[in-house]
Amino acid sequence: MYQYGLEPTFWLRLVVVISIFLLLLVSFNVIISRWLKMERKKLFSYNHVNEKHEKIDWIIRVIAILSILLGYFINSTRGPTNWYWFLQPWFILAIFIVVSEVFRAFMEHKYAENPNAYKVTICNMVFTLILFFTLVKTEFWGLI
């Protein structure tokens, strides 16, 4: 019998998946930054190009959070087989990542000192989305 409906090795496998995911993201970021001759950004930091970028980015984040909450409330009133797929948190998160990173790339292309900054952002976004969707579609690479 599983405690709280989880297998005994669930947390170990989850940590392995998250570790592999982060290792792949960091490795890709290092490789693409070196290839395009860009300074590496600090890990887990988010540098805005200017104040306009920061304000609009926060607006995008608030809209994403409100969308996730609204999607939860709408889908919670429906049966699990009748949920709207476009209100699922994974879908809203994917849309948020794309909108946020495309806007960041636009701002970097327009205002950044290094002309390759937006290329690194776009490559990272595409790689992150590929990893994200392979995780979702393969049930976390078969580990969970």
For 17-55, the pLDDT digits (tens) are 889 999 999 999 989 989 988 877 665 567 788 899 999
Min mean pLDDT across 16-25, 88-97, 114-123, 135-144 is at 135-144
- Average pLDDT for residues 3-22, to the nearest whole number? 83
Structure tokens at 35: 């290839």
Q: How far apart are CA 64 and CA 96, in angstroms?
A: 6
User: How does DSSP classify residue 92?
Assistant: H
What mean pLDDT, rounded, does the chain reach?
86
- The pLDDT value given to residue 42: 65
- The pLDDT value given to residue 60: 95
Q: Is the pLDDT of residue 65 over 80?
A: yes
Query: Domain residues of the chain, as ranges?
Result: 3-41+49-142
User: How many helices (H) does the chain have, and how many strands (E)?
Assistant: 4, 0
End-to-end CA distance of the chain: 17
Q: How far apart are CA 25 and CA 36, in angstroms?
A: 16
CB crowding 16-39: b at 16 or more within 10 Å, else e: ebeeebeeeeeebbeebbeeeebe
3-class DSSP state for residue 78?
Answer: coil
